[in-house]
Amino acid sequence: MRALLVLLLLSSVAAAKPKREPVTVVIAIDRSSAMDKASLAAAKAAALATAAAMDPADKIAVIGYDKAAEVDVPLQSAAHREEIGDQIELLESTNGGADMRAALAKATATLHGVTGTRHVIVITATNTGEVEGYDLARKLHEDGATITTVGLRGADRNALSMIADVGNGRLYMVDDVRALPKIGVRELAELVAVRLPTAAAKKRAPGAVVIVIDRSGSMKGAKLDAAKDAVKATVAALDPDDIVSVVAFDSEAQVYVRPQRAQNRTRIGAEIARLVSGGGTNMYPAIKEALEILQDVKVKARHVILLSDGETPSDGIAELVADMRKAKITISTVAVAGADEKLLEQIAKDGGGRMYKVDDLTQLSPTVVNDLQQALK
C-alpha cells in the first residue's frame, strides 16, 4: 500500500495552466537503532507523501543514514511514484548509531549541480549530544538550499535547532509520529507558496469535498484518531477557497463541520476535536447528508471521501450513489481493517471514485489526501 499524500495540483496537460519553478527535495531519514518500527514507517510515509505532493517536473531523493549514508532513492522526477515507493519501502533500520554529518554530506553530493529551489529535510530520533554537520549545513545554505530538521522523541532539540537555523529552515519536534507525513507536505507547500517567485500563478478553480467518517464503537482509539488526522491533513492540502465539510456517522449521521472555506483551519480543527466514537454502523444517512450538502455548493468539482471500518446495511445506498453521479458528484471509499470491502468497492466504482484498503493507519492521511487531489484536479 502506497502512502500517498498530495498537496499540490498535479497537471496532466502541460499547457492547461501556468507552471511554477520546479522544486528539488532531499529527505534524509535516520535508520539507526534510535528509530523504532513505527517511527521509521512514519518517516517513510512522509517521504512518500512528499513525493506525491510534488509536480512531475519536481525532483526528489531519499537518503537513509546511520553512521554512514546511502542514497536509497536516487534523485529523480517525482512523476516516478511507483518506483519511488518501491525504493522507499526497501529502507530498513540498522543496529548502529547515527551521524547527521554523513547525511548532510550525502545531501550535498546529491544536490551538486542542481539549480533552482532546493530543500533538505532531516528526520531523526538520535541524541548525539553535539552538533554534527553544522559546517555542511551552512555550506548547503550558502549554495542556495534550505534545511529543515524533524526531531522525534529522544532527539537533541538544541542540535537540530542549530542545523535548521543555519539552513534557514524550520525545526519540528514531534511526539506523535503520525504527524510526519503532514510535515513533509507542509514544508513543500511553504516552498511553493512562499519561496518560489512564480507562486502567484493562477490556481485551479475552487472545489468542494465532504469527508464522511465512521465513528462507530469499533473506530474507538487509534482508528478514530487517524481519521481525525486525515481530516486535518486534507484541510491543509486544500486551497483556501475550497469548501470542506465533515459528516460523522454511527447509527445516525451528524455534521461536525458545516460547509465552509478551508482557510478556516483552526476552527475546523477545533470542531474535529469534538468527534468521539460510539454506536453502530449505518452509512446511508451520512451519504445522504453528504449529497445534500454538495448539491447546494456551486463549484465545478464536488467529491465525497468515505472512511469506514465496519459492516453496514446496504439498502438504498446504490440509489444514493446513482443520484450523486447524476449530480456530477464523485465518491471514493477507504476501507480500514474490518470494513465491508465489497460494498465500499462497489460504492467507489459506481460513484466514479476510487476504493482504498488501509491496514497501516499511518497511511490513512496520505491516502485520503491523495484521493482528494485526484478528484479536484
pLDDT at 3: 34
**pLDDT (mean) for 101-115:** 94
**pLDDT (mean) for 168-181:** 80
84 CB-near residues (< 8 Å, 6+ apart): 48, 51, 60, 62, 73, 76, 78
Flag whether pLDDT at 83 surpasses 80.
yes
Would you place residue 10 in the very low, low, confident or very high pLDDT band (cuts 50, 70, 90)? very low
Domains and CATH numbers, the chain: 14-195 (3.40.50.410), 207-376 (3.40.50.410)
Would you place residue 96 in the very low, low, confident or very high pLDDT band (cuts 50, 70, 90)? confident
**pLDDT (mean) for 281-299:** 95
How far, in Å, are 120, 124, 136, 159 from residue 163 at the CA level?
A: 11, 12, 9, 6
pLDDT at 128: 67
Q: How far apart are CA 341 and CA 295, in angstroms?
A: 27
208 CB-near residues (< 8 Å, 6+ apart): 242, 243, 244, 245, 259, 294, 297, 299, 301, 302, 303
**pLDDT (mean) for 249-257:** 95
- Report the phi/psi class of residue 171: left, alpha or beta, with left for phi > 0 and alpha for psi in -120 to 50: beta
Would you place residue 158 in the very low, low, confident or very high pLDDT band (cuts 50, 70, 90)? confident
| pTM, 2 dp | 0.53
Neighbours of 189 (CB within 10 A): 16
**Beta strand 207-214 pairing with 301-308:** parallel
pLDDT at 188: 63
**pLDDT (mean) for 211-221:** 94
Flag whether pLDDT at 319 surpasses 80.
yes
pLDDT at 357: 92
Q: Of 198-212, 226-240, 242-256, where does the model show the most confidence?
A: 242-256
**pLDDT (mean) for 193-204:** 44
CA dihedral of residues 372, 37, 310, 294 (deg, nearest 10)? -10
Flag whether pLDDT at 197 surpasses 60.
no
Q: Mean pLDDT of all residues in the chain?
A: 85
Q: How far apart are CA 139 and CA 223, in angstroms?
A: 43
State pLDDT tens for residues 49-82: 888 888 889 999 999 999 999 999 999 999 898 8
Q: Which of 108-112, 263-267, 280-284 has the lowest mean pLDDT?
A: 263-267
Q: How far apart are CA 120 and CA 149, in angstroms?
A: 8
Q: Of 165-174, 185-194, 330-339, where does the model show the most confidence?
A: 330-339
- R_g of the chain, CA atoms, integer Å: 21
292 CB-near residues (< 8 Å, 6+ apart): none
Q: How far apart are CA 171 and CA 165, in angstroms?
A: 8
